[in-house]
């Protein structure tokens, strides 16, 4: 973690720090019980800063480079110690190395839903999560405001506080943005810039910056998302009548392929089709749902003629009165075995079993001679 050399027993001559942890933000160089030799070598690598603290006061900050710790390189510490320019004696000071590289792939997310007002859905509860990166831009301010005397400070110790700041500003921005929920996915970049700009002053007070901020997802509660999925499905379906015909035919096809329960499957499929008003009319099943207007009741005192639906050529035709049925008999299109049905009758019956129609076959005159 650190490499230092002690010459002369208690004197430190070489000061440097190499980091292989990837999450350490501040490291305190071990100087307890030792003094720094005049002219000692201080090595500060790229992505580092060295902060000298003397008797609890922040003294000097060194950027990347190689330094000889002499009077001209320690102006603040010299002033604090009231040294003359020609001092040669060792001195004691705390040395903190600050990692100024970018810490990436840090996570943030809303622990509780954020309530916002959507122009289309009204009040909604939103959750969101994403990533961000941070870096130390002012080591002195970072040491005085955040670290203090912590001997080894990691990014996890500050990321929790930053997450709280992000969630607070995100909640405020999302509630006042006025962006519809359905359009937020297309505006995450804009929202991310708004949140990053809003938290910039607070983060700068810590000596930090947020170079990157991303919103990966904004989600609704599961129940609301399920309703949106249904709404989307209805939009894709389009014409419900045509979709119902397609669904009924698919159900009947699947039932016909099911050898174990073909009858039940066919019955369920036909029932679904007829329930949607799409069953074809025929003599072997119930009448389809009619979309025609209901006829008014007959006038008082007027006798209403009974009309009949007739099964001709495999289709239900009619309704016909007795006079029309007589013409069908003359045309040899209507016989005793022809199935008929009238409102109030229990299913289709042969015409010969209906007393009112059976008379048509007994009162017809015989054919002419020759």
* Run of H or E residues at 191: helix 188-204
Looking at 25-39, 207-221, 257-271, 302-316, which range is the least confident one?
A: 257-271
Answer yes or no: is pLDDT of 75 > 90: no
pLDDT tier at 131, thresholds 50, 70, 90: very high
pLDDT tier at 367, thresholds 50, 70, 90: low
Choices 3.40.50, 1.10.150, 3.30.1490, 1.20.120: CATH for 308-362: 3.30.1490
What SS3 class is residue 297?
Answer: coil
How much is the pLDDT for 139?
A: 92
Strands 24-29 and 94-99: antiparallel
Has domain 103-224 been given CATH number 3.40.50.620? no
pLDDT tier at 358, thresholds 50, 70, 90: confident
**Cβ partners under 8 Å of residue 43, min gap 6:** 14, 15, 16, 66, 67
Give the residue, 230 or 86, on which the prediction is more confident. 230
How much is the pLDDT for 135?
A: 93
Mean pLDDT to the nearest integer, 308-313: 86
Q: Using CA atoms, how far apart are residues 77 and 171, in angstroms rounded to an integer?
A: 45
Tens-digit pLDDT profile for residues 147-175: 887 778 888 888 888 999 999 888 888 87
Looking at 136-145, 158-167, 296-305, which range is the least confident one?
A: 296-305
**Cβ partners under 8 Å of residue 178, min gap 6:** 119
How much of the chain is in helix, strand and coil states, percent to nearest 5? 35, 30, 35
pLDDT tier at 46, thresholds 50, 70, 90: very high
How much is the pLDDT for 256?
A: 67
Q: Which two tokens stand for residue 95?
A: 């040395």
Answer yes or no: is pLDDT of 296 > 90: no
Q: Using CA atoms, how far apart are residues 37 and 15, in angstroms rounded to an integer?
A: 10
Q: Using CA atoms, how far apart are residues 197 and 208, in angstroms rounded to an integer?
A: 13
Answer yes or no: is pLDDT of 210 > 90: yes
Answer yes or no: is pLDDT of 133 > 90: yes
How much is the pLDDT for 272?
A: 52
Looking at 131-140, 183-192, 268-277, which range is the least confident one?
A: 268-277
Tens-digit pLDDT profile for residues 80-100: 665 555 556 677 888 899 999
Q: Which two tokens stand for residue 1?
A: 């973690």
Q: What percent of the chain shows pLDDT beyond 90? A: 17
Highest mean pLDDT among 7-16, 173-182, 307-316: 307-316
Mean pLDDT to the nearest integer, 221-244: 70
> What's phi and psi for 160, nearest 5 deg?
-65, -45
Mean pLDDT to the nearest integer, 91-117: 88
User: 145: which DSSP letter?
Assistant: I
Residue 209 C-beta-side C-alpha neighbours within 13 Å: 9
How much is the pLDDT for 361?
A: 79
Q: Which two tokens stand for residue 328?
A: 């069908």
Q: Using CA atoms, how far apart are residues 185 and 183, in angstroms rounded to an integer?
A: 6
Tens-digit pLDDT profile for residues 251-272: 777 776 665 554 555 555 555 5
Answer yes or no: is pLDDT of 241 > 70: no
Answer yes or no: is pLDDT of 8 > 50: no
- Ramachandran quadrant class, 78 (left: phi over 0; alpha: psi -120 to 50; beta: rest): alpha
What's the mean per-residue pLDDT of the chain?
A: 78
How much is the pLDDT for 240?
A: 61
Answer yes or no: is pLDDT of 132 > 90: yes
Q: Using CA atoms, how far apart are residues 191 and 270, in angstroms rounded to an integer?
A: 53
Looking at 119-123, 136-140, 334-338, which range is the least confident one?
A: 119-123
- Name the residue ranges covered by the structural domains of the chain: 2-99, 103-224, 239-280, 308-362
How much is the pLDDT for 200?
A: 92
What SS3 class is residue 163?
Answer: helix
Q: Using CA atoms, how far apart are residues 315 and 312, in angstroms rounded to an integer?
A: 5
**Cβ partners under 8 Å of residue 230, min gap 6:** none
């Amino acid at each position: 973690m650190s490499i230092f050399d002690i010459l002369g027993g208690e004197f430190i001559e070489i000061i440097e720090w190499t980091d292989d942890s990837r999450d350490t933000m501040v490291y305190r160089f071990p100087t307890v019980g030792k003094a720094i030799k005049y002219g000692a070598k201080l090595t500060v690598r790229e992505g580092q800063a060295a902060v000298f603290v003397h008797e609890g006061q922040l003294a000097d900050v060194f950027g990347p480079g190689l330094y000889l710790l002499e009077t001209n390189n320690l102006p603040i510490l010299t002033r604090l110690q009231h040294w003359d320019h020609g001092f040669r004696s060792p001195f004691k000071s705390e040395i903190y190395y600050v990692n100024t590289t970018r810490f990436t792939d840090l996570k943030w997310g809303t622990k509780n839903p954020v309530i916002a007002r959507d122009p289309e859905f009204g009040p909604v509860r939103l959750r969101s999560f994403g990533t961000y990166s941070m870096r130390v831009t002012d080591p002195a301010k970072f040491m005085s405001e955040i670290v203090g005397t912590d001997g080894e400070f990691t990014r996890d110790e500050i990321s929790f506080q930053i997450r709280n700041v992000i969630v607070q500003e995100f909640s405020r921005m999302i509630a006042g943005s006025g962006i519809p929920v359905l359009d937020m996915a297309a505006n995450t970049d804009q929202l991310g810039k708004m949140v990053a700009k809003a938290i910039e002053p607070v983060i700068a007070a810590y000596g930090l910056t947020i170079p990157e901020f991303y919103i990966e997802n904004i989600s609704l509660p599961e129940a609301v998302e399920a309703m949106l999925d249904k709404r989307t499905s209805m939009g894709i379906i389009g014409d419900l009548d045509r979709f119902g015909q397609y669904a009924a035919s698919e159900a009947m096809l699947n039932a016909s392929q099911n050898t174990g329960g073909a009858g039940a499957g066919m019955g369920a499929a036909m029932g679904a089709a007829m329930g949607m008003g799409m069953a074809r009319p025929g003599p072997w099943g119930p009448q389809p749902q009619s979309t025609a207007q209901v006829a008014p009741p007959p006038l008082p005192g007027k006798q209403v003629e009974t009309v009949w639906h007739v099964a001709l050529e495999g289709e239900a035709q009619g309704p016909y009165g007795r006079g029309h049925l007589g013409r069908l008999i003359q045309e040899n299109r209507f016989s005793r075995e022809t199935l008929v049905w009238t409102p109030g009758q229990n299913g289709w019956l042969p015409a010969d079993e209906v007393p009112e129609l059976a008379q048509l076959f007994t009162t017809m005159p015989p054919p002419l001679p020759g």
